[in-house]
Chain A
């Protein structure tokens, strides 16, 4: 690996355009059994199921994508060439066999046929959340009771189970006419107030969702059971002084953070009283639009801003800084510094962030243009490991950017002029490394795996 790194260093001069060759890419425009009037009007989201079924005799690997359009949720099977994907499982081992297979796999300039099996068939909804618009889905891996949770645009939650078309549990939110005049507007013009989010704890026992209460200066978090009685609202927490809390993410079984429109990240424990454990304030760099936490390390998280700035943080360090009075007076704001700072070139705003579920150093960001950026922070970590202490060598922004931006996927939104990147339209596969599914506003579903030149070259030398 040392060799491969020096090699990377040598090719550090490699600049934009970032590499964008695909190891695999397949696209698919679904056709539906029911007539869909204007597909552009519906909001769409995607999420992967985590099951993968290898078939040695056919040389394929099957997995499936959950795709929502308005109130309907479809399941789309993807069949992938086994040799492109399977060797990832022993990626870390770096054994010879796998590196040989890899070196034999050259980037494929053609579009793949992952969706070949279902091309031409008319899709029927697997689940329907009647009267709601699905805004986010999450697959529940190890739950017997339900298969997936879907959130609607107004913050309602529905639990679905395989083979049952309607939700098995519901947490219904009233928004619009039923509540207040202010939110009537938000219903007809679903803009700033109809932003909701949820996340599931690592052991799947607890769900936290965030939503606006429909008023100014009032956003709430609801802690909901997902073990004995899914859908039971355990507690409601008010987030003071915020109108919208747009993101909420768990770090482990209990610790979670919420991110609100006052550019403050608040860290909570599901078991504590109604006050945050500690906060992280981010007044600069524009509007804080998104954040995600790593499920691999429990400590790392990434924040994204409307100006295109991306910051990587260590939650332990952020918390310690809140009580560290070495370089400040009591009463002054704590000095909380990120591990690394990156940016989308051209000021492309950050609309969504997805931390890899297979690697502690990789994450994906989605730009306002619909472009998908793949980052690997290994370079940054290898420079500032814990031993360096205070003597942190901060890499020059350009260099860091060049080393960490691994791949760049140009969104299909180019085909229509006014489409923008949206939250929850890009999904990272929970098991297959680097495998991404996206959906465009015109319903084009794409699944791709980047071809990483640096990996390839590194492996060549390892042989």
Chain B
């Protein structure tokens, strides 16, 4: 294991960092070819005797899903560490065998549900199929299978057979996402239908009959809907390649409640909303721009005719914007599950940026409508960029940051996990001013 201390102007000292290159029981041909995704389980076991917390990383590689246990110190350390920690000590010696297998599919996104409940893990494959797994059973117990590739159209044959060799645009149709409602009773997934100008959302039950497709909604005029996220039990938003965010209610008919168009700043690549506040959300662009929004204000602006004529586009302003230095594109955005003021962004370089919005929110007055956005300045940027984690992709030249390869721990504050293309799994906790 390499031990380096990264040098950078942005703060990047760690309170804790551990890495693991997993060994597998089955032979893996070329680990770089397999798609990887990562999430955490929400089970945390504190051990007072040894003063540690145990939890686990759920890690997928191709069709296999592994659970890797780790142990971190219970108390915050007071000084930044220079050395890599040994959180994965117990997992280091053993060879991993898959906990779940989604045969014939490539897992691209996972969500942990509940260890003891009816279903433990929900995994999505690259073509948009969903599989529910239950603790102790290796194969899926519910499936929503999507046909893509040979069964549908020529365009998607490519995406099925030669995913890695083609330039990005040729497998752009094999992009899908899903979101789970706050009460975990409803799942919404987005996917391309395989044709031009046709992307769809499926509302899927996750309560009475998991996997039951309740409704299919067409998103007009879009080819790919790459992101879908829930705000609460019913309201969710989808983000498509026409740079429009559409807000929906699971119970309404097939029209969005309201929309947010974002024609400028390049391609809208990602968005996430806070589960803590229910109103805040963040959008990320291919140009490296990041915007923080208040959903209530953006919605109110759709009916506000104070500064515009009816028929003109609504004036929807964000709370604040930030940017990735050097035009590093935004490939993933994730709100912290423990704090409403923290989110992280993943750059195209694989770097992970930690943001804290306390500074901008202290200057923000939601009652005043039409406040101009707080544009990115030196001050707001330095006050908000809390931490920078340099992606491990430095080790191989041509790798880029990917979606769903970075995750916040749902319970342990500030703990983040990432997986690199060469299977290196890292968990870290930034050392920040507040930690002192």
The answer to whether B208 touches A255 (Cβ under 8 A) is: yes
Q: Which residue of A252, A255, A270 is within 8 Å of B251 (Cβ)?
A: A270
Write the chain A residue with the least CB distance to B213. Answer: A272
Q: Is A206 an interface residue (CB 8 A)?
A: yes
Contact with B along A249-278 (1 / 0, CB 8 A): 000111100000000000001111110000
A206 CB contacts on chain B under 8 angstroms: 234, 251
B203 CB contacts on chain A under 8 angstroms: 271-272
The answer to whether A223 touches B251 (Cβ under 8 A) is: yes
Query: How far does the alpha carbon of A271 sit from the alpha carbon of B186 in the complex, in Å?
Result: 9
The answer to whether A253 touches B232 (Cβ under 8 A) is: no
The answer to whether B235 touches A271 (Cβ under 8 A) is: no
A272 CB contacts on chain B under 8 angstroms: 203, 214-215
B249 CB contacts on chain A under 8 angstroms: 225, 234
Question: Separation in Å of the A300 CB from the closest CB of chain B?
Answer: 15
Contact with A along B253-287 (1 / 0, CB 8 A): 11000000000000000000000000000000000
The answer to whether B214 touches A203 (Cβ under 8 A) is: no
Contact with B along A396-412 (1 / 0, CB 8 A): 00000000000000000
A228 CB contacts on chain B under 8 angstroms: 232, 235
A203 CB contacts on chain B under 8 angstroms: 183, 233
Contacting residues of chain A (220-243) with chain B, CB-CB under 8 angstroms: 223, 225, 227-228, 234-235
Q: Is A217 an interface residue (CB 8 A)?
A: no
B254 CB contacts on chain A under 8 angstroms: 273
B235 CB contacts on chain A under 8 angstroms: 228
Contact with A along B207-231 (1 / 0, CB 8 A): 1100000110000000000000000
Do A234 and B183 form a contact, CB below 8 Å, given A205-B233, A269-B214?
no
Q: Is B250 an interface residue (CB 8 A)?
A: yes
Query: How far does the alpha carbon of A255 sit from the alpha carbon of B232 in the complex, in Å?
Result: 19
Query: How far does the alpha carbon of A203 sit from the alpha carbon of B183 in the complex, in Å?
Result: 10
Query: How far does the alpha carbon of A223 sit from the alpha carbon of B183 in the complex, in Å?
Result: 19
Query: How far does the alpha carbon of A234 sit from the alpha carbon of B235 in the complex, in Å?
Result: 11
Query: How far does the alpha carbon of A424 sit from the alpha carbon of B183 in the complex, in Å?
Result: 32
Do A254 and B253 form a contact, CB below 8 Å, given A227-B234, A269-B214, A271-B214?
no
The answer to whether A252 touches B232 (Cβ under 8 A) is: no
The answer to whether B252 touches A253 (Cβ under 8 A) is: no
The answer to whether A252 touches B207 (Cβ under 8 A) is: yes
Query: How far does the alpha carbon of A206 sit from the alpha carbon of B181 in the complex, in Å?
Result: 15
A269 CB contacts on chain B under 8 angstroms: 205, 214
The answer to whether B232 touches A234 (Cβ under 8 A) is: no
Query: How far does the alpha carbon of A154 sit from the alpha carbon of B43 in the complex, in Å?
Result: 51
A270 CB contacts on chain B under 8 angstroms: 250-251
Query: How far does the alpha carbon of A271 sit from the alpha carbon of B232 in the complex, in Å?
Result: 14
Interface residue SS majority, chain B: loop
B251 CB contacts on chain A under 8 angstroms: 206, 223, 225, 234-235, 270-271
Query: How far does the alpha carbon of A225 sit from the alpha carbon of B215 in the complex, in Å?
Result: 19
Q: Is B185 an interface residue (CB 8 A)?
A: yes
Question: Separation in Å of the A207 CB from the closest CB of chain B?
Answer: 10
Size band of the interface chain A makes with B: 10 to 19
Question: Separation in Å of the A292 CB from the closest CB of chain B?
Answer: 19
Question: Separation in Å of the A266 CB from the closest CB of chain B?
Answer: 16
The answer to whether B233 touches A271 (Cβ under 8 A) is: no
Question: Separation in Å of the A404 CB from the closest CB of chain B?
Answer: 29
B233 CB contacts on chain A under 8 angstroms: 203, 205, 227, 253
B185 CB contacts on chain A under 8 angstroms: 253-254
A271 CB contacts on chain B under 8 angstroms: 186, 203, 205, 214-215, 250-251
Query: How far does the alpha carbon of A269 sit from the alpha carbon of B234 in the complex, in Å?
Result: 13
B252 CB contacts on chain A under 8 angstroms: 223, 234-235
Question: Separation in Å of the B237 CB from the closest CB of chain A?
Answer: 14
Write the chain B residue with the least CB distance to A237. Answer: B253
Question: Separation in Å of the A238 CB from the closest CB of chain B?
Answer: 12
Query: How far does the alpha carbon of A227 sit from the alpha carbon of B186 in the complex, in Å?
Result: 16
A234 CB contacts on chain B under 8 angstroms: 249, 251-252
A274 CB contacts on chain B under 8 angstroms: 253
Query: How far does the alpha carbon of A206 sit from the alpha carbon of B207 in the complex, in Å?
Result: 16
Most A CB within 10 A of own CB, among B183, B186, B215, B249: B249
Question: Separation in Å of the A271 CB from the closest CB of chain B?
Answer: 4
Question: Separation in Å of the A16 CB from the closest CB of chain B?
Answer: 41
Do A253 and B215 form a contact, CB below 8 Å, given A203-B233, A235-B251?
no
A273 CB contacts on chain B under 8 angstroms: 214-215, 253-254
Query: How far does the alpha carbon of A273 sit from the alpha carbon of B250 in the complex, in Å?
Result: 10
Write the chain B residue with the least CB distance to A233. Answer: B252
Write the chain B residue with the least CB distance to A272. Answer: B214
Question: Separation in Å of the A163 CB from the closest CB of chain B?
Answer: 25
Query: How far does the alpha carbon of A273 sit from the alpha carbon of B249 in the complex, in Å?
Result: 13
A225 CB contacts on chain B under 8 angstroms: 234, 249, 251
The answer to whether A253 touches B250 (Cβ under 8 A) is: no
Do A205 and B234 form a contact, CB below 8 Å, given A252-B208, A255-B208, A271-B186?
yes
Contact with B along A157-199 (1 / 0, CB 8 A): 0000000000000000000000000000000000000000000
Query: How far does the alpha carbon of A418 sit from the alpha carbon of B207 in the complex, in Å?
Result: 48
Question: Separation in Å of the B295 CB from the closest CB of chain A?
Answer: 10
Question: Separation in Å of the A387 CB from the closest CB of chain B?
Answer: 23
B208 CB contacts on chain A under 8 angstroms: 252, 254-255
Query: How far does the alpha carbon of A205 sit from the alpha carbon of B183 in the complex, in Å?
Result: 11
B214 CB contacts on chain A under 8 angstroms: 269, 271-273
Contact with A along B240-253 (1 / 0, CB 8 A): 00000000011111
Query: How far does the alpha carbon of A269 sit from the alpha carbon of B204 in the complex, in Å?
Result: 11
The answer to whether A235 touches B253 (Cβ under 8 A) is: yes
Question: Separation in Å of the A261 CB from the closest CB of chain B?
Answer: 25
Question: Separation in Å of the B402 CB from the closest CB of chain A?
Answer: 31
Write the chain A residue with the least CB distance to B185. Answer: A253
Question: Separation in Å of the B274 CB from the closest CB of chain A?
Answer: 15
A223 CB contacts on chain B under 8 angstroms: 251-252
Write the chain B residue with the least CB distance to A223. Answer: B251
Question: Separation in Å of the B239 CB from the closest CB of chain A?
Answer: 21
Query: How far does the alpha carbon of A272 sit from the alpha carbon of B250 in the complex, in Å?
Result: 8
Do A253 and B234 form a contact, CB below 8 Å, given A270-B250, A271-B214?
no
B250 CB contacts on chain A under 8 angstroms: 270-271
Question: Separation in Å of the B366 CB from the closest CB of chain A?
Answer: 16
Query: How far does the alpha carbon of A435 sit from the alpha carbon of B235 in the complex, in Å?
Result: 39
Query: How far does the alpha carbon of A203 sit from the alpha carbon of B186 in the complex, in Å?
Result: 14
Query: How far does the alpha carbon of A261 sit from the alpha carbon of B205 in the complex, in Å?
Result: 30
Query: How far does the alpha carbon of A368 sit from the alpha carbon of B95 in the complex, in Å?
Result: 73
Question: Separation in Å of the B352 CB from the closest CB of chain A?
Answer: 33
The answer to whether A227 touches B232 (Cβ under 8 A) is: yes
Query: How far does the alpha carbon of A161 sit from the alpha carbon of B253 in the complex, in Å?
Result: 30
Query: How far does the alpha carbon of A273 sit from the alpha carbon of B203 in the complex, in Å?
Result: 10
Most B CB within 10 A of own CB, among A227, A269, A274: A269
A255 CB contacts on chain B under 8 angstroms: 208
The answer to whether B215 touches A254 (Cβ under 8 A) is: no
The answer to whether B232 touches A254 (Cβ under 8 A) is: no
Write the chain A residue with the least CB distance to B216. Answer: A273
Contact with A along B405-436 (1 / 0, CB 8 A): 00000000000000000000000000000000
Query: How far does the alpha carbon of A223 sit from the alpha carbon of B232 in the complex, in Å?
Result: 18
Query: How far does the alpha carbon of A223 sit from the alpha carbon of B251 in the complex, in Å?
Result: 7
Query: How far does the alpha carbon of A142 sit from the alpha carbon of B214 in the complex, in Å?
Result: 28
Query: How far does the alpha carbon of A159 sit from the alpha carbon of B196 in the complex, in Å?
Result: 46
Write the chain B residue with the least CB distance to A275. Answer: B215
Question: Separation in Å of the A232 CB from the closest CB of chain B?
Answer: 9
Query: How far does the alpha carbon of A203 sit from the alpha carbon of B185 in the complex, in Å?
Result: 12
B205 CB contacts on chain A under 8 angstroms: 254, 269, 271
Query: How far does the alpha carbon of A223 sit from the alpha carbon of B249 in the complex, in Å?
Result: 11
Contacting residues of chain A (43-88) with chain B, CB-CB under 8 angstroms: none
> 14 A-B pairs, CB-CB below 8 angstroms?
A205-B233, A223-B251, A235-B252, A235-B253, A253-B183, A254-B185, A254-B186, A254-B208, A255-B208, A271-B214, A271-B215, A271-B250, A272-B214, A273-B253
Q: Can you name 11 extra interface pairs (CB under 8 A) apart from A206-B234, A271-B205, A272-B215?
A: A203-B233, A205-B234, A223-B251, A234-B249, A234-B252, A254-B186, A254-B205, A270-B250, A270-B251, A271-B186, A271-B251
Identify the 4 closest CB pairs spanning chains A and B, nearest first. A271-B250, A272-B214, A270-B251, A234-B251
